[in-house]
Structure formats: C-alpha cells, structure tokens
A and B are shown apart, each in its own frame.
Chain A
Amino acid sequence: MPWYKSVYDWLERRIQFEGPVKEAVLHPVPKSTASWWYVFGSASLVLLILQVVTGILLGLVYMPSAAHAWISLDVLNHDLPLGWFLRAMHGWGSNFMVAVVLIHMAQVFLFGAYKFPRELTWIVGIFMLLMTLGMAFTGQVLRFDQDAYWGLGIGASIMGRVPVIGGQLVHFMLGGPIINGSTLTRFFTLHVFVIPGTLLALTGLHVWMVLKLGINEWPMPGRIVRRETYVQEYNELAHKDGIPFVPGAVWKDLFFSAAILLAVAVCAAVFGPFGPKGVPDPTIISTVPKPDFFFLWIYTVLSFLPPELETPFLLIVPPIAIAALIGLPFVAGIGEKSWWRRPVAVFSVMFLAICWAVFTQLGTYTPWSPQMNAWSGAVIPAKFLENRTPLERQGANVFQEKQCRNCHAVGGLGGQRGPALDEVATRLTEDQMIRQVLLGGGNMPAYGSALSPAETSALVRYLETLHPHYQPAAADASRQVVGQGGGVPADSTVQQGGGQTAVH
C-alpha cells in the first residue's frame, strides 16, 4: 500500500467524510440538468471563494483608518509587487460576481426553479443577492476615495429621509455625526466580517438545499408542478434517466468556472485596479462623485424622480421589491415551469433588463449633471464665432462666463442638462430668449439677478446668431410690424401664414 493511501485511510477512519461526500457528488441528477445553462450557480461560488482569498490577501496591507486607508491603497498600487494586480482581481472579481449572480437569478427565475419544493432555496438566494450587493457597496466605501466619501453622503442622505428616526439612522450608519474614521471602521467590519460571514453561511445552506432537493430539471412545457406528485416525479426522472452529478454534470461547471476566473484575471491585467481616485478630503469640492458600475442605475433613477416623489420612492420601493421577490414562490409556487408558457415572467425579465441597461447607460455619461468645468474649459468651435460682431463675441464671453455652458452644449461640447444651443435661434425669438434667460423656467434657473442688461443683450445677440445658414433665426412678426411703422407689409409672414418665422 503506498504511503499516501495509508495516510488517507488513517484520516478517513477518524473523520469519516467519505460517505457523505460520495453521496453528495455521486447523487443522480436528471440528464437534462447537465447543461451550460446550469453553470452560473457554481461560478458564483467560485467567484465568492476568489473574493475571500483576494480579500484576505488585501487585508494584510489595507489600513482601515480614515487618515491612512487611501495611502495603503496607493502603496498596494505602486509599491508592493503585484499589489495592484490583487486589487484589480478583487475589484473585477466583485463586478463579475454581481453579474454572474444576477444571471444565475434570472436563469433560476426563467427555468421556474424557485417553485415547489425549492421555495426556501430561492428566498435564501435573495438574501445572498442582497449580501452580494452589500459587499459591492461596502467594498466601494473601503476604497476610501472621493467617490467613497460622497457615496456615503448619498447613503446618509437617503437614510435621513426616513421619517421620525432618520436623524438617528444617519448617526447609526455613519457611526457618528459625520463621515469620518468611525464610518470607515464600521463599513470595514461589515465588509470583512459581518456580510461575508453571513454570505458564507447562507451559501452553505443554499448548497445544502440544492443537494437535498435536487437540481431543477429542465422545464418542459406541459410538465406541471403539483405539490402532491412533484417529488415522486423528480425522483423518477433522476433515477431512471439520471446521471451521477460527478462527473456527468460537473465538468461543464468546472470549465465555466475556469473560464470566468481567467476572464477576471485578463480584465485585471488589462484594465487594472479601480481607483483609488482623489484623496477623501471633503474640502476638495472640484469632484464629480459617481457610484460603481452596478449602482449607476440607482444614480440615474435618483436624478429622474420628481422631488415630491423621491422620499416615498426611496423608502417604499425597495421593501416592496424585496417582498415581491420573497413572495414569488408562494404566489407562483406550482404550475408551469417552462418559459414557453410563462410570458409574464419572460417579459418581466426583459423589461427589467432593458430598464437596467438604459439607466446604466445614462449613468455612464450623466446628462442631468452640469459639467462643472465646461464654462472655462469647453471651447466654442470656431464656426460658431466666425463673422460675429464685437457685441456678439462679447455675448459668447457672457455665455461662457455665466456658466451657461455647464448645462448647454454648443458644437457637442458642454453640459447636457439643458438643450444644446447649436440652433437655438431657430427655436426662440429674441424676446423669448430674453424672457427665458431672465426668468428661467423649465428647470433652468432665472438669471435675472446675475446678468446686467448689457450682458443679457450681448448674450441674446450672440444666441440669435446660432442657426444654420439655410434656416433663418426665428423672428417676432410683431417686431416687423413696428419696424414698418405700424402697417403690416404686404408680403409679411403674417399674411403668408408663416407664423413667427420670417424668411428674409
């Protein structure tokens, strides 16, 4: 007997793992579950292990102190051999994990795997999703830069909207009156002990239930789930037409997990670590805070909610969403599993996916945010300044100096909060422009108190030149009438029915 066999036998006699492990890995599963669609759960587990390992390694260096966290990240990035690569693996691993978990969840939903008897597996899975998102958010806080600081500010402001106890909640969340070192240690504890501990425990429970209840069979249209007969039907399927989990189904899991790990490593090597961006000094106000990729959609939603709806939305919708997910297997715990017979389910997933994609896409370029440096940095293209009079050039100066550019683009440069003004003269007459500038409206501030009459005149004169050469500026017909000494000219646009646009 070789030495390692005798060592193994010695250990096995004492630990006695072989029986349960063999039972677990060799248990028969329906042949249909040996599919590439069933690899996302195991991939999530592998990514979780990757995050634990890389997280422990980063923990060797990371310093959870408000004064030093940023510096320790900088040391990891620049001074320790491959420290940046570890940070990149952890960061990209987190993005991949959220993505794979969401795909896993969509697959489970579309395959009806949450139905009887796997309701609790689904519910535990929901809490695992919340934990994963919690890890992503707290991880973003630990990368203690300006985005983390102001991200905490956003979180605290949302907490502050809770009626009655909002103020105390903010102090509880921040660990004190304001974002500082106590906040960081709180989130460090959450990210390193509380949430991963819970997540690992839930993962054990989740996997245990998958082993005990069997992997969901491939849904077939017409194969209805009934509480009375399902277990028996499933066991028949697994035993008569089944294969052992190992190696029948597991090889695809292994291949996919390896591919995912490789993808994380490639992303880490090519794109590098996330941040840290600027030092977390709140006195640096020339910052444009932005959440990480998987929270961009929330950022978008928050910018589009009307003011009076915002607090109710923030406080009511998340609990409703979680309750709906938890209630799902109780409402739809039996019946059809196949997506061919569940149009509402399919369209819900598509709808949510499209909403998420659109919101995220908007979040990448934030058209609702003023561009803080556009007024002094965004160049007016030369063609918008050609052949302008001295007054109109001063108007362009006013346009820049009064920060109009922060919200209004010209020539594709500048903020996108307000409409682009490349052809504004075709839309507004001079008087309408003066009114809009002075009184604001339509989500534009009133500039009446910030502009002198001369500045207003110059600005409007300049804006009046912004029209394409083939289309004249909009003109007020009544101005023409006054100009003609009170008489309507024979060929005036009024008589031609041309509305306010006079064609010269």
Chain B
Amino acid sequence: MDEKLPPPSPEEQEQRLETERVTRRSFLMNVGIALNAAVAIAIATPVVGYLLGPVLRRKDYLQWISLGETAEFTPGETRLVTFRDPFANSWDGDTANIPAYVRCSEPGKFTVFAINCAHLGCPVRWFSESQLFMCPCHGGVYYADGSRASGPPERGLFTYELKVEGGKLMINAGQMPTLQNRASAAPCPGSTPAPNESALVKRIEPCPGTKASTIG
C-alpha cells in the first residue's frame, strides 16, 4: 500500500496550480465563485437576521401587567400570584402562565418578587411560617424582603418594577430575569454600589432592602 502521508506539500500544489492560474477558463471559474459568494451573502443576511430575531426585535421585553386589585393583598402577607406572559404565542400552553410573589409589607407598600432564584433560576418557595424563600435546586434562601439569607445566590431575589394605577397593582414584566437582564427587574434600591466598593462586597450585597439587621 502506498504511503498516504504526508500529502503533497503546499509548494507542490502551488506549482501545479500556477500553470493554470492565468488561463481564461480559470478566470471565468473565479468569477463564477465570486458570483456564488455574492449570492450566498445576499441570502445569508436575512437568515442571520431571522436567527437573531429574538435579540434584534427589542432589547427588553417588558410590558405593564395588572396583578389585580391592591385590596386583594393582605398587609403583612406574601402571596403567590400568576399572570399571563404578555409576549405569549398561542401555542405556549401552560408555559405562558408566569408565577410571582407579591409581598404587601404594610398597606399600600408592595414588593413583587420574580419566582426565579437569583442563583440559577429555579422556582423559590415561600414559607410564611419561617418567613423565608427557599430554592429547591442548590439551597439558596432569602428573607421575607427578598435579601439573600444563605446559599449560593450572590444577590437577593429579582424584583419587578411596579406601580399602582386605578387601585390595581401593575408590574413591568415579560422576560425571564437573569443577572444580565437587569431591566427585567427594577434596579434594587440601594444595590447600586459605590464605585470604590470591592467587587466581592458588591456581589453579595443583599438586594433589595436595607443593610439593617433583620433581627427584630
């Protein structure tokens, strides 16, 4: 059997090609290749645009959604609510029902937490008895005000921007909150750290809420 390696060296190939390079036929072939490339680019541009559609359409998917009358929320309680994804497709089925926690700390004062753990997005569960949110995935725990209590999360629960309009509690929602999709959650009050703060302090600072001790 012939030795299969090494293949002809680049120099040899170059020599072989050199003899044909300048002929008219090879020129026409090159033009043909260039034509194909141009057409390919013309076709590829809309394809790329199509693929990037979800990103290019808009930066943030946010819309004001009503969670119901403010009177429905008992002061001092945290309640699970669900709302319909404002950007839902008609074939989304149950996945378009999005849960969230509404905390009414005192009359007229609300915080709406996203269901997603700030660690890796798993659904946190509220335990009113111990006033804690616990995450079933990696054990992230949050206090009633959403600040980080223990576990791997590096910040508190994501909160939705909210307003009360005509007696209804509205939140600005629609996209899955992650660490980079900042706008999904309103910037937490007091979470923007001073620029000279060390990165580590910034990361584990509870948000939202105060730095005051929760021991009451």
Report which A residues bind B (CB closer than 8 A).
Answer: 27-28, 65-68, 117, 149-150, 153-154, 156-172, 174-182, 212-213, 231-232, 235, 239, 279-283, 285-289, 299, 302-303, 305-308, 310-311, 368-370, 372, 375, 401-404, 406-407, 417, 438-440, 443-450
Contact = CB atoms under 8 A, between A and B. Distances in A.
Contacts of A27: 1
Given A178-B85, A180-B92, A157 B119 contact: yes
A179 B124 CA distance: 17
B216 A170 contact: no
A417 B204 CA distance: 20
Contacts of B119: 157, 302
B214 A446 contact: yes
B181 A176 contact: no
A168 to B, nearest CB: 4
Contacts of A162: 180
A28 B1 CA distance: 10
Interface residues of B, number: 70
Contacts of B181: 160, 166-167, 170
A186 to B, nearest CB: 9
Contacts of A170: 176, 178, 180-181
B99 interface: yes
Q: Chain B at the A interface: mostly helix, strand, loop or mixed? A: loop
Interface in B19-72: 52, 54-55, 59-61
Interface string B194-211: 000001100110000000
A289 B47 CA distance: 35
Contact of B134 (A235, A403, A440): A403
With a 10 A CB-CB cut-off, give which of B82, B95, B178, B200 has the most chain A CB atoms: B95
A231 B143 CA distance: 67
A66 B93 contact: yes
Contacts of A67: 91-95
B154 interface: yes
Interface string B91-122: 11111111100000000000000011001111
Given A179-B176, A403-B132, 8 more contacts: A157-B120, A167-B181, A172-B52, A177-B176, A180-B92, A282-B99, A403-B127, A417-B139
Contact of A285 (B93, B115, B144, B213): B115
Nearest to B51: A172
28 contacts: A66-B93, A161-B178, A161-B179, A166-B179, A171-B55, A174-B54, A176-B54, A177-B87, A180-B88, A181-B92, A232-B3, A282-B95, A282-B97, A283-B80, A283-B94, A283-B98, A285-B124, A299-B138, A302-B119, A303-B152, A307-B203, A369-B136, A369-B139, A372-B136, A401-B129, A417-B139, A447-B130, A448-B214
Contacts of A163: 180
B98 A282 contact: yes
Contacts of B80: 283, 285
A279 B175 contact: no
Contacts of A407: 139
Contacts of A235: 1, 3
B162 interface: no
A153 B116 CA distance: 8
Contacts of A289: 122-123, 136-137
Given A170-B180, A174-B54, A302-B138, A154 B121 contact: yes
Given A282-B95, A285-B115, A368-B138, A445 B132 contact: yes
B4 interface: yes
Nearest to A232: B3
